[in-house]
Chains A and B, each alone.
Chain A
Amino acid sequence: MLPDNLIPETDKPPLLPSWRAWYWLVLGALGAEIGLFVYLTRLFA
């Protein structure tokens, strides 16, 4: 989990409700990319 105390609450990001949401977006995209790559590797093997 990402530590709360290192994310300044006064510094709100644009577009998403919190920095935590931004971080999970980036990590989620990485997870989706790995999933896609595994799928493509197996599909075209």
Chain B
Amino acid sequence: MSGLDWLILGGTLLFIVGFGTWRTRRAGDSLDGYLLGGRQASWWAVGLSIMATQASAITFLSTPGQAYDDGMRFIQFYLGLPVAMVLIAVFAVPIYHRLQVFTAYEYLEGRFDRRTRTFAALLFLVQRGLSNGLSLYAPALVLSAILGWDIQLTVWLIGGLMIAYTVSGGTRAVAVTQQGQVAVIFTGMVVAGYLLVHYLPAEVGFTDAMRVAGHEGKLNLIDFHFDPSDRYNFWSGLTGGLFLALSYFGTDQSQVQRYLAGRDITESRLGLLMNGLLKIPMQFGILLLGVLLFVFYQFNPAPLTFNRPVYMQVAHSEQYGPQLRALERTHATLFKARARATGELVAALKTDDEQAIATAKTHLQATQAANLGLRQQAQTLLKQAVPAAEAKDTDYIFLTFVLHYLPHGLVGLLIAVVLSAAMGSAAAGLNALSSTTVVDLYKPRRPGRSETHYVAASRWAAVGWGVLGIGFATFAARLENLIQAVNILGSLFYGTILGIFVVAFFLKSVGGRTVFWAAVAAQIVVLTLFFATDIGYLWFNIIGCAVVVAGSVSEKAVRS
């Protein structure tokens, strides 16, 4: 990174955080002011905050790499989201607003009992506490690998900045900083997309790039084939994705707190609907970046593996080095053949000559298969040489491109995108963790204290969860790829929490004792299935919810 990159990176982050802290320096001594920003947010502020909370650094590191490797089928994961936004706007928002609750779980005590409220709050705290740590760990890991930054120092720097403004200004500081962060994120992504197209060879336009990607199976946006073990298809996206989104946006305090801060029902609803309208196009854009990266690397040499630190470590070893270097030489030769074959396909596509297209496609597919085989051989070798290392390199693809091909200044901007997303998302999580700890666990056991006391307790809870998140991030181990790890973690708990809320909203005759034991049973079932089967994780959201609802209904039926 050049001096200009450092200037832009540091300036952008400090300006966003400084401005957010300054704007919200009078967070107020009331819980309402500190935890919900005085319930004054307009719809666009609610909408931006919801989007920034969901889009973590992992979104920008993993998603383009996932499209590069697996095509755009991950988009199906989001198909249930707009439906969930509508259902939450219709059913949940009026209830939360009418009851003037601080947290989603507060509602459960009035509806059931304190035990059920505490159980749901604890499930949330466990999964959000862990995934918040992962949100900090993910960018630190990739940045340390690619830029050589110290991983612990990076985690502490991002985490420290985030804790400072979240503790100081509460929910309003989180929302105001998220507005700046979203602006940086969108600018960075648009610039990266434009440059990717610009860097393609002169004779290859955007449509040509799409056609090449399509012939390589990267534009696999919709797959109607039903397979329960397949993570991303139309059916799992629409149903499992719907349940995951209902649970995440309807019952996860990190999101509920965003729209509880809305001025009234109208502002909260419109914020949610704004997310329902924009989320899929935004994810489409990020996945498209990955596909464009794939096409870009058909014409430009890609490394044998994008995880360079592990590569360098193995390349210098006496035992595995010669083998790896031999693979690298074959890879370099193969790249020339692949670039030539891609050029032939582009030329054939322009002539619309079916025979020429078929020949070029066969030629290209042969070189792709050889390339894939080489990459797999390299990954096996790396895993053999460094068993603890991450073999998959998809999380490193986007930043590798940024560092090697973007001009000075833009590198700093794109790294600011990653760090902004990390802080925006984790700060909202931290804010929700402290709210739930104080409102659902501390306040019911220490009632009658002053508002100032509870605000101070919230600040200390934010510091505690922040430090715990940093601690977890420092010691976290890699799980497949990062975005999937976070979604898997959420899916293990979300189904049960959603089930409790579904019973609360729609089965008015079911009481606290019944739903509590049904929820405990559901959590055991989900965890057992997770460890004992290979069911795609999106289905756990449905299973957990279904067991709570079915358990509640059947227990009720047996009793009556």
A: residues with CB less than 8 A from B are 2-3, 6-8, 11-14, 19, 22-23, 25-27, 29-30, 33-34, 37-38, 40-41, 43-45
- Is the beta-carbon distance between A41 and B221 smaller than 8 angstroms? yes
Known: A12-B266, A41-B222, A43-B214. 5 other contacts (CB 8 A): A14-B270, A19-B269, A29-B82, A30-B79, A44-B219
User: B213 touches which one: A22, A34, A44 (CB < 8 A)?
Assistant: A44
What distance in Å separates the Cβ of B262 from its nearest Cβ neighbour in chain A? 12
- Is the beta-carbon distance between A14 and B211 smaller than 8 angstroms? no
Q: Report A-chain residues with C-beta under 8 Å of the C-beta of B284.
A: 33
Q: A3-B90, A27-B83, A37-B221 are in contact. Are A44 and B266 (CB under 8 A)?
A: no
- Is the beta-carbon distance between A30 and B222 smaller than 8 angstroms? no
Please, how many angstroms separate the alpha-carbon atoms of A30 and B269 in the complex?
Answer: 17
B45 contacts the other chain (CB 8 A): no
Q: Report A-chain residues with C-beta under 8 Å of the C-beta of B79.
A: 30, 34
Minimum CB distance partner of B75 in chain A: A37
Please, how many angstroms separate the alpha-carbon atoms of A18 and B486 in the complex?
Answer: 37
Among B148-156, B273-281, B321-329, B363-371, the stretch in contact with A: B273-281
Minimum CB distance partner of A35 in chain B: B222
Name B206-232 residues within 8 Å CB distance of A: 210-211, 213-215, 219-223
Interface string of B15-58 (1 = CB under 8 A from A): 00000000000000000000000000000000000000000000
B265 contacts the other chain (CB 8 A): yes
Give chain B's interface secondary structure class. helix
Q: Report B-chain residues with C-beta under 8 Å of the C-beta of A12.
A: 266
Minimum CB distance partner of A20 in chain B: B90
- Is the beta-carbon distance between A8 and B265 smaller than 8 angstroms? yes
- Is the beta-carbon distance between A27 and B221 smaller than 8 angstroms? no
Please, how many angstroms separate the alpha-carbon atoms of A26 and B266 in the complex?
Answer: 16
Q: Report B-chain residues with C-beta under 8 Å of the C-beta of A26.
A: 82, 85-86, 273, 276-277
Q: Report A-chain residues with C-beta under 8 Å of the C-beta of B265.
A: 8, 11
Please, how many angstroms separate the alpha-carbon atoms of A8 and B95 in the complex?
Answer: 12
What distance in Å separates the Cβ of A31 from its nearest Cβ neighbour in chain B? 9
What distance in Å separates the Cβ of B538 from its nearest Cβ neighbour in chain A? 17
Q: Report A-chain residues with C-beta under 8 Å of the C-beta of B185.
A: none
Interface string of B50-76 (1 = CB under 8 A from A): 000000000000000000000000010
- Is the beta-carbon distance between B214 and A44 smaller than 8 angstroms? yes
Please, how many angstroms separate the alpha-carbon atoms of A38 and B86 in the complex?
Answer: 23
B405 contacts the other chain (CB 8 A): no
26 contacts between A and B (CB under 8 A): A6-B90, A6-B91, A8-B265, A11-B266, A12-B266, A14-B266, A19-B89, A19-B90, A22-B269, A23-B273, A25-B273, A26-B82, A26-B86, A26-B273, A26-B276, A30-B82, A30-B83, A30-B276, A33-B280, A34-B79, A37-B222, A38-B221, A43-B214, A44-B213, A44-B214, A44-B219
Please, how many angstroms separate the alpha-carbon atoms of A38 and B280 in the complex?
Answer: 14
Please, how many angstroms separate the alpha-carbon atoms of A27 and B83 in the complex?
Answer: 7
What distance in Å separates the Cβ of A41 from its nearest Cβ neighbour in chain B? 5
Please, how many angstroms separate the alpha-carbon atoms of A2 and B85 in the complex?
Answer: 13
What distance in Å separates the Cβ of B81 from its nearest Cβ neighbour in chain A? 8
Minimum CB distance partner of A8 in chain B: B94
- Is the beta-carbon distance between A13 and B82 smaller than 8 angstroms? no
Q: Report B-chain residues with C-beta under 8 Å of the C-beta of A30.
A: 79, 82-83, 276, 280
- Is the beta-carbon distance between B215 and A6 smaller than 8 angstroms? no
Please, how many angstroms separate the alpha-carbon atoms of A14 and B276 in the complex?
Answer: 17
What distance in Å separates the Cβ of A26 from its nearest Cβ neighbour in chain B? 4
- Is the beta-carbon distance between B90 and A23 smaller than 8 angstroms? yes
Please, how many angstroms separate the alpha-carbon atoms of A6 and B292 in the complex?
Answer: 45
Q: Report B-chain residues with C-beta under 8 Å of the C-beta of A8.
A: 94, 265
